[in-house]
Structure 1
């Protein structure tokens, strides 16, 4: 009798950039014959359903929209509290799902790092539950050896490791642990699980294995990352998306010079000033532009014929045909711009965006302008320099070739399988 595959539960949350890579992995595992069940916010149900991956949802669309409505979501110091407070009511969702499974039903969990506490809580009903954490961006690993930023603060290479470690301890003591630990440990106590002393230490050590969804040349494994860590690759940001572009956009692209794309991210709906400045910069530079956001209310009241708005466009089809991308520094947009070989001006607001900005700048393909220092002059100067630089163009071409030469999704799925099912017959472990 053939051995029944364990149920692979893939749990993720966040905006589109956090959801799509996990959906891509889920679809890939499904096509390889694995049993997959995704757990995602109700807000993202349509995209998971369109990918054809079995799923369960948590929370409501209204609750998630209320989260997006909060300007503090994109504040580098206040954002973490907003995210945690939104997650807290759903902390027991994965535990409940696993508790409903038949006792003989074997399962494993692949999850977003922010959902590790949710997965660890499920060990109160499945003590031997195997948890694999997939890191979309290196900054979430809180490493000190390759620490480029602390929020918007750049960390020079000469800063001693001990100082960087002390800075991380301060960040966690002041901004993270007081927000998360009281409620997390109260919930754990209700299920007779021991309290955890540090949130990020719990996030890093609770999983049985961890996987980076970024290549080694972007960020290599560091001495203070989890021991059971496997290097991976960028996932990509499209799942069953149309290969072409909308007819109106296709016509716009063919009628003039390659435009500059501006996007603050799919979840950002408080970027009116960003788009207002972008419109002024395009006018001063005499450039055409494309504004991407599903939240049209934050756009200027009227746009010139040289600027077009789209709610969503597949980056794989669009970015190879643009002059540059001005974006927030989300890892998905960053990876697609690297793949397309176009210059990037990164305007980070919060989370991993600061670190991603510094990494792409270090690679020679980008510049960074902090959102809190955003101005017409600052954006114009940096964008003009990027567009005119032969060194930037050369670096973009080199890295695009490097991305193309990587084995891609099949190789990454091998790594995911090795992490999730290390004892599978005939399968060598990755760790």
Structure 2
């Protein structure tokens, strides 16, 4: 039995794929330790895992102003990485170093940049878990950077323009990670490159925890990369099923449109739910709105249901279409459901995820600042009236349903455990 540390920072969309890995690793006889934000302590311990706190974790759902800054389309990623992750890198390093004592293997999420430092300091093998294709920043398959979606037109213009896009991203972020470089020097580690781009990948194993329908391996990906397929987990501590009231609503009529903003953007909804109500009414469609802690729109008709949360794996299969923010966890569940989508991306990887599912022929995209009743009605009408969208979504859903992401990922991890350094 190996002692394996799983470390992640972020929303439930970041945590849930790691829980799926943890459950599979535990089923295989390994001891799994979770190192993550304090707000997930109860969730992790409910599942019977050892929990250690990982800072920074002071952003709370009770602080919508801070969350709004982090989800801003143009500057949200800068604020998240420069002002939150790198500004607190010493705390992250301290917490993860302590939790990793005696470990046999370390798995870190995308923004746990201290993971490489801890692994090098302790002489640990480690893996990076990448949730979305944008993380690779490939010049052969360039991402759509938040706030720069117009640059996607350069994709078809050859390698040089795409190299320029990635180089621009490296230049714009070059100073963000200064605290990490300073810490490396202080603890006696050699200099490294930009951790947002080339210097974040593990030489042992990079787990691309997404479906190959979203992206194929590229020549400039890390050689240690394994595409596993999505790893799914979405239950709560209380139940993995829909409420009887919601079950009754779903059974009482035609498949509804489902409107959701995932687990992060839901704390900064703006007019999303008000507009969505008007959209459903104009289209004369039943709808379910997953609203989190937000108040439901007033005077909901009987054809529209608003609930705080429902497991996507249980409710998405009942939809005729899904309107969501484009987080990779939500995107994965929508793909698996086999239903077409409209994506309203906020920030981070969401614009790139939106572009990828649109290129698959199963989705339409509406920028956040253009999510109006008129625009959403227009895009949903196209989606629902052209059978090709539903047919293609169904075929892709079949592919994703057959994937075994947890097993492929854990096979790759166990292979590393048996290999001598």
So what's the TM-score if we normalise by structure 1? 0.89
C-alpha contact 2:96 2:115 (8 A) present in aligned 1 = no
Counterpart secondary structure, 2:177: helix
The structure-2 alpha-carbon separation of the partners of 1:61 and 1:158, relative to structure 1 and needing over 3 Å to count, comes to closer
Compute the displacement of 1:113 (Å). 1.6
Q: Which residue of 1 aligns with 2:97?
A: 98
Q: Which residue of 2 aligns with 1:177?
A: 174
Q: Answer yes or no: is 1:89 the counterpart of 2:88.
A: yes
CA distance in 1 between partners of 2:118 and 2:371 (Å)? 43
Unaligned runs of 5+ in 1: none
C-alpha contact 1:11 1:38 (8 A) present in aligned 2 = yes
Compute the displacement of 1:112 (Å). 0.7
The structure-2 alpha-carbon separation of the partners of 1:289 and 1:96, relative to structure 1 and needing over 3 Å to count, comes to closer
CA RMSD across the alignment: 2.4
Compute the displacement of 1:339 (Å). 1.2
Post-superposition CA distance 1:236-271 (Å, at most 9, x none) = 132577453101111211222221111112122121
Counterpart secondary structure, 1:189: helix
Q: Which residue of 1 aligns with 2:378?
A: 381
Q: Which residue of 2 aligns with 1:150?
A: 145
The number of equivalent residue pairs is 413
Higher RCO structure (Cα 8 Å, ≥6 apart): 2
Post-superposition CA distance 1:307-356 (Å, at most 9, x none) = 21111111111111111100011111111111111111011011111111
CA distance in 1 between partners of 2:38 and 2:98 (Å)? 21
The structure-2 alpha-carbon separation of the partners of 1:142 and 1:362, relative to structure 1 and needing over 3 Å to count, comes to same
Compute the displacement of 1:194 (Å). 3.3
**Which piece of structure 1 moves more, 131-140 or 89-98?**
89-98
- 1:165 pairs with 163, 166, 187, which one? 163
Unaligned runs of 5+ in 2: none
Q: Which residue of 2 aligns with 1:130?
A: 125
Compute the displacement of 1:62 (Å). 4.9
Post-superposition CA distance 1:30-80 (Å, at most 9, x none) = 111011101111122232223222221224865434665322211233112
C-alpha contact 1:181 1:198 (8 A) present in aligned 2 = yes
Q: Answer yes or no: is 1:395 the counterpart of 2:392.
A: yes
Q: Which residue of 2 aligns with 1:315?
A: 312
- 2:221 pairs with 220, 225, 228, which one? 225
C-alpha contact 1:266 1:293 (8 A) present in aligned 2 = no
**Which piece of structure 1 moves more, 406-415 or 287-296?**
406-415
CA distance in 1 between partners of 2:106 and 2:63 (Å)? 26
Compute the displacement of 1:183 (Å). 1.8
Compute the displacement of 1:11 (Å). 0.5
1:266-415 to 2 correspondence within 5 Å?
A: 266-268=263-265, 269-297=267-295, 299-415=296-412
So what's the TM-score if we normalise by structure 2? 0.91
Q: Which residue of 1 aligns with 2:243?
A: 246
Counterpart secondary structure, 1:245: coil
